[in-house]
Structure 1
Amino acid sequence: MTRIVAGESQTPKRRRALEVALAVGLVLLISVGAVVASAVARDSNATAAPDAATTPAAELKLGYFGNITHAPALVGVQKGFIAKELGGTKLSTQVFNAGPAAIEALNAGAIDATYIGPNPAINSFVKSKGESVSIIAGTASGGAQLVVKPEIKTAADLKGKTLASPQLGGTQDVALRAWLGKQGYKTNTDGGGEVAINPTENAQTLKLFQDGKLDGAWLPEPWASRLVLQAGAKVLVDEKDLWDGSLTGKPGEFPTTILIVNKKFAAEHPQTVEALLKGHVGAVKWLNDTPAAEKAAVVNAALKQDAGKALAQNVIDRSLKNIVFTVDPLAGTYKKLLQDGVDAGTTKQADLNGLFDLRALNSVATEKTTAAGLGQD
């Protein structure tokens, strides 16, 4: 009887042990399955991520200025070069007066790319420790001058005078401050110093000069030409004369306007950036291949659309003669441009490596360009 009882008590124990073992095995099987499924999902997502990252943007928000130095943007929009290459991507545009305002919009996400002068791009790159923008192409060289009252004959006559630039920290503002420093003048960013510099919107600069309230200004085209032809100013410094070609191999050339893109946007939508560059290259080629009269007419029509008023013929003719349109950003000049900004007190010393990404440009343009060791080409 005792054996029978013992036998009856051991059988349930073995059954329970078997049930427990089966349950543990099932749990382990489920856990392994979950791990495998998770790994497969991660692998699937890793494979899908590049495809998602290279989807064309639904919209490209592009900035530029109503200046002749931004003619590739004006022509690219006016004649449809950019919109055609973008295909199904909507093109939206915003017109700015000066670089720092455009940079602020770019960093805030209000625009994705912009035509701009080099110094605001450098400043943004430095402040963000290389995270904000990439220079993806050149646009224009030349077309910037210091124009002054006729009685001002030399730099020595500028002491105690008041000059204007488009905006503090902008490319012409930095050029003016750097040049004055080389002439022995001290300036500061609050408008004081031996020569006062008042950052002023370009149209207001023209009026103030006509009213005798400014002694001169360092301006891009067409504003330099407008002060000369419509307000009686004379050229004291043509900036191209300050560049001897030692940094680029191209005497007289220096970057006035470039094309930059928000780095995050470029990483997410490389096809859209490439399409923008195709349109940009087409616009630059059109400007360089088109007879002067037709070129002036198209650029003037674009300016009228953006600014509400066309330029006088002599102004647009003089402006275009002062500019070289090129997709080369002239990267060899950027260490000097940075140093000029440091000397002017508008930026800080920094490493510019990574500022350029010219890979897409060099894939679509016949003219190959270099980042001069400051990025990818």
Structure 2
Amino acid sequence: MRTRSVLATIAALSLLATACSRADEGEDTSDTAAQDQGAAAELRLGYFPNVTHAPALIGLEKGLFEKELGKTKLTRQEFNAGPNEVSALLGGSLDIGFIGSGPAINAYAKSNGKAVRLISGVTSGGAQLVTTSDISKPEDLAGKTVVTPQLGNTQDVALKKWLAGKDLTGKVQVTNMENAQTLDAFKGGQVQAAWLPEPWSSRLVLEAGAKVFLDEKELWPDGKFPTTVLVVRTEFLDEHPQTVKAFLKGLVASIGYAEDSPEDAQAAVNKQLEALTGKALKPETIKRAWSNITLTFDPIAGQFKQLAQDQVTAGIAEKAPEVGGFADLTQLNAVLREAGKPEVDAGGLDKK
């Protein structure tokens, strides 16, 4: 019995010594510390071939993201609209995505606030309702076909909310098409109106004879609303915070490049669009599209509760998605501080 007692004491002391050793090494058993795996071997990036995603296109064309990422391999994937990108994020095949504010909210809501985090703004503005010349008032849209890029995307929600406010719900045929198909359909007379992001609204105006019926800027305070934002999978953020920070440095450099050299930035965007779509924009098209957007790190977070409520008004959701806790601007503000730039406000979205 004495032998067993001695052995038990030795075992207990051994366990205590092991625990003390781990404590001395500074081991942190919190989830974040346990998950931090340093720089990622690969970062899978999603974005659209749109002018509203200009910072993504500039950064890719000029190698600004790769410069900051170092040995981390950057893999690209293009999307036509937000819902498809949401599926990729939630399915784990994408790490960081440039995406519209509406689908970004949906990604957060569908995962019960777990799968993604809002980490930066990208662009404000750059969406218009364009129509045939005979449409002069909202009532003229009754019986007409209006196109948006995809069901539930940012422009789809904006259109349906606006239609509801004009008592036109159910009186207008809303359909969804890829942007290039919308241009052809408008030229052929199959559709009479479209709510589109840039450069597609400009292309319909300059190439298909459409007119601007409404610029979405007119519907928001000071004309500011988050058209494109940047989101990251929460797991990727936890596992590779330094990689996320490096990518954000590339984003800051991209927007800075556009501010310092707007003509060169437009040329960079156009070169990427040509590579992605097989055709560059005409100079007048990209110039018009560029004039309708504002590149900004600020996600304009204070408007996200309204954007969530808009989904109910639009008939996309029965209940406004919860957006509390969606934003994590820690890495962005660290980058901005280091660059001597003003920090951005989370607008309460950093708290549940």
Please tell me the TM-score bracket, short chain as reference.
Answer: over 0.9
Match of 2:329 in 1: 358
Name which of 285, 290, 303 aligns with 1:315. Answer: 285
- Runs of at least 5 residues in structure 1 that lack an aligned partner in the other structure: 1-19, 187-192, 246-250
User: What is the DSSP-based 3-state SS (H/G/I as helix, E as strand, rest coil) of the residue aligned with 1:152?
Assistant: coil
Name which of 250, 270, 290 aligns with 2:261. Answer: 290
The 5-angstrom pairing of residues 132-151 of structure 1 reads 132-151=115-134
Taking the aligned partners of 1:288 and 1:299, their CA distance within structure 2 comes to 14
User: What is the DSSP-based 3-state SS (H/G/I as helix, E as strand, rest coil) of the residue aligned with 1:46?
Assistant: coil
Match of 2:27 in 1: 46
Cα offset, 1:29, TM superposition: 3.3
The 5-angstrom pairing of residues 114-125 of structure 1 reads 114-125=97-108
Paired residues of 1:54 and 1:271 also in contact (CA < 8 A): no
Deviations 1:215-255 (A, max 9, x none): 11100000001111111111111001111x2xxxxx11111
What amino acid is the match of 2:240?
H
Cα offset, 1:51, TM superposition: 7.4
Paired residues of 2:308 and 2:322 also in contact (CA < 8 A): no
User: What is the DSSP-based 3-state SS (H/G/I as helix, E as strand, rest coil) of the residue aligned with 2:322?
Assistant: coil
The 5-angstrom pairing of residues 80-159 of structure 1 reads 80-159=63-142
What is the RMSD of the two structures over their aligned residues, measured on CA atoms? 1.7
Match of 1:166 in 2: 149
The 5-angstrom pairing of residues 177-216 of structure 1 reads 177-186=160-169, 193-216=170-193
Taking the aligned partners of 2:28 and 2:324, their CA distance within structure 1 comes to 30
Match of 1:69 in 2: 52
- Name the CA shift for 1:345/1:41 in 2 (closer, same or farther; >3 Å): farther
Taking the aligned partners of 1:95 and 1:41, their CA distance within structure 2 comes to 49
Taking the aligned partners of 2:225 and 2:305, their CA distance within structure 1 comes to 12
Taking the aligned partners of 1:371 and 1:45, their CA distance within structure 2 comes to 32
- Name the CA shift for 1:169/1:52 in 2 (closer, same or farther; >3 Å): closer
Match of 1:31 in 2: 11
Cα offset, 1:25, TM superposition: 2.9
Cα offset, 1:42, TM superposition: 5.8
Cα offset, 1:152, TM superposition: 0.8
Q: Could you state the TM-score of these two structures normalised by the residue count of structure 2?
A: 0.93
Taking the aligned partners of 2:209 and 2:142, their CA distance within structure 1 comes to 21
Cα offset, 1:37, TM superposition: 5.3
Q: Could you state the TM-score of these two structures normalised by the residue count of structure 1?
A: 0.87
Match of 1:261 in 2: 232
Q: Does 1:303 align with 2:267?
A: no
What amino acid is the match of 2:99?
I
Match of 1:248 in 2: none
Q: Does 1:375 align with 2:330?
A: no
Taking the aligned partners of 2:120 and 2:203, their CA distance within structure 1 comes to 28
Deviations 1:59-89 (A, max 9, x none): 1101000000000000011101111111111
Taking the aligned partners of 2:259 and 2:134, their CA distance within structure 1 comes to 37
Paired residues of 1:115 and 1:257 also in contact (CA < 8 A): yes
Aligned residues: 343
- Runs of at least 5 residues in structure 2 that lack an aligned partner in the other structure: none
Match of 2:309 in 1: 339
Paired residues of 1:135 and 1:260 also in contact (CA < 8 A): yes
Taking the aligned partners of 1:41 and 1:58, their CA distance within structure 2 comes to 31
Name which of 209, 215, 231 aligns with 2:208. Answer: 231
Cα offset, 1:58, TM superposition: 0.7
Match of 1:276 in 2: 247
Larger mean Cα displacement after TM superposition, 316-325 or 121-130: 121-130
Paired residues of 2:139 and 2:168 also in contact (CA < 8 A): no
User: What is the DSSP-based 3-state SS (H/G/I as helix, E as strand, rest coil) of the residue aligned with 2:280?
Assistant: coil
Cα offset, 1:45, TM superposition: 8.6
